[in-house]
């Protein structure tokens, strides 16, 4: 593989890992709200979270450009106040991936929170645990397999994200050129087929390792709970 290809692979791993880890706390919080919350506008929140799944990725990317770009209302605020810039940076690619993977992540975590027996949470309350402790010591450990599944789904989605990323942060080698972007570029130039095939295989390998890893992890958690 060429240096350019390695750079794209490394960048994709960095972007996907950052997107997954940074969105996970938000994903758990939103999933908990949707699973357990009773508040006005819950269905609106649910729709908003699912929106990136339904919208064309280009539209999501364009909306990100409008809001998080240099002149966007959020983007200019973040750049002026905190010096955080998303547009045409790898951080922007991570943001686009996080948003695109968010619905999948929230869905998996929400289902696992809904499956946690609320009677156990009530029991923890009678033993003196306040709601935050109940969440940390009962709900969270019991829905861990769902959280892992959600994180892996988010990661896999991030590895493959193309449309929103290229719209929002373009396709700059070394900065925003992720694995899918490079594959796309290679298919557009004469003689790029061999390289595109190599990267496709790398892409498949990474996805399979991630999926297998999550399967093993979930099984280990499950078996520890059964026996031990």
Partner 1 sequence: MSLEVDVEHARGSFQLRARFTAAPGLTALFGRSGSGKTSIVDIVGGLIRPTRGKVIVDGQVLVDTERRVFVPAHRRRIGYVFQDSRLFPHLSVRHNLLYGRWFARGNGGAVADLGAVVDLLGIGHLLDRQPDSLSGGEKQRVAIGRALLARPLLVLMDEPLASLDEARRAEILPYIERLRDEAGVPILYVSHSVAEVARLATTVVIMAEGKVTAVGPVLDTLPLADANDGGSVLDATVSRHDEAFELSVLTTAAGELQVPRLGAPTGAHVRAYIRARDVMLSLRPPEDISALNVLGGRVASVTPISGAQADVRLDCNGALLMARLTIKSVERLALTPGRPVFAVIKSVSFERT
Residue closer to partner 1 (CB basis): 148 or 196: 148
- The answer to whether residues 24 and 105 touch, using CB atoms and an 8 Å cutoff, is yes
- Region label for 39, one of left (φ > 0), alpha (ψ between -120 and 50) or beta (otherwise): beta
Residue closer to partner 1 (CB basis): 77 or 133: 133
Binding site for partner 1 (CB under 8 A): 117, 119-120, 122-131, 133-134, 137-138, 141-142, 225-228
Instruction: Give SS3 for 174.
Output: coil
Least separation, in Å, of the C-beta of 99 and partner 1? 32
Burial class (CB within 10 angstroms; exposed 0-12, middle 13-18, buried 19+) of 188? exposed
* Terminal alpha carbon distance of the chain: 46
Residue closer to partner 1 (CB basis): 115 or 204: 115
Least separation, in Å, of the C-beta of 115 and partner 1? 12
Least separation, in Å, of the C-beta of 71 and partner 1? 48
Residue closer to partner 1 (CB basis): 122 or 204: 122
Least separation, in Å, of the C-beta of 28 and partner 1? 17
How far is it, in rounded angstroms, from Cα 82 to Cα 174?
24
Least separation, in Å, of the C-beta of 130 and partner 1? 5
Residue closer to partner 1 (CB basis): 139 or 165: 139
Interacting residues of 50 by C-beta distance below 8 A, sequence separation 6+: 103
- The answer to whether residues 172 and 34 touch, using CB atoms and an 8 Å cutoff, is no
């Amino acid at each position: 593989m060429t240096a350019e290809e390695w750079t794209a692979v490394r960048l994709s791993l960095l972007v996907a890992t950052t997107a997954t880890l940074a969105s996970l706390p938000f994903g758990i919080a939103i999933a908990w709200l949707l699973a357990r919350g009773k508040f006005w506008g819950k269905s609106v929140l649910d729709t908003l979270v699912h929106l990136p799944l339904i919208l064309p990725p280009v539209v999501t990317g364009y909306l990100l450009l409008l809001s998080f770009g240099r002149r966007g209302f959020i983007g200019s605020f973040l750049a002026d106040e905190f010096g955080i810039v998303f547009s045409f940076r790898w951080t922007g690619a991570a943001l686009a991936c996080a948003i695109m993977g968010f619905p999948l992540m929230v869905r998996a975590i929400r289902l696992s929170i809904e499956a946690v027996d609320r009677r156990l949470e009530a029991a923890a309350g009678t033993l003196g645990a306040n709601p935050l402790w109940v969440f940390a010591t009962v709900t969270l450990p019991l829905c861990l397999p769902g959280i892992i599944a959600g994180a892996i789904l988010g990661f896999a989605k991030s590895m493959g994200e193309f449309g929103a990323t290229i719209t929002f942060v373009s396709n700059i080698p070394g900065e925003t050129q992720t694995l899918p972007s490079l594959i796309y570029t290679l298919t557009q130039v004469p003689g790029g087929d061999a390289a595109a095939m190599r990267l496709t295989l790398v892409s498949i390998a990474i996805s399979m390792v991630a999926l297998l890893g999550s399967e093993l992890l979930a099984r280990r958690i499950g078996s520890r709970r059964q026996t031990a």
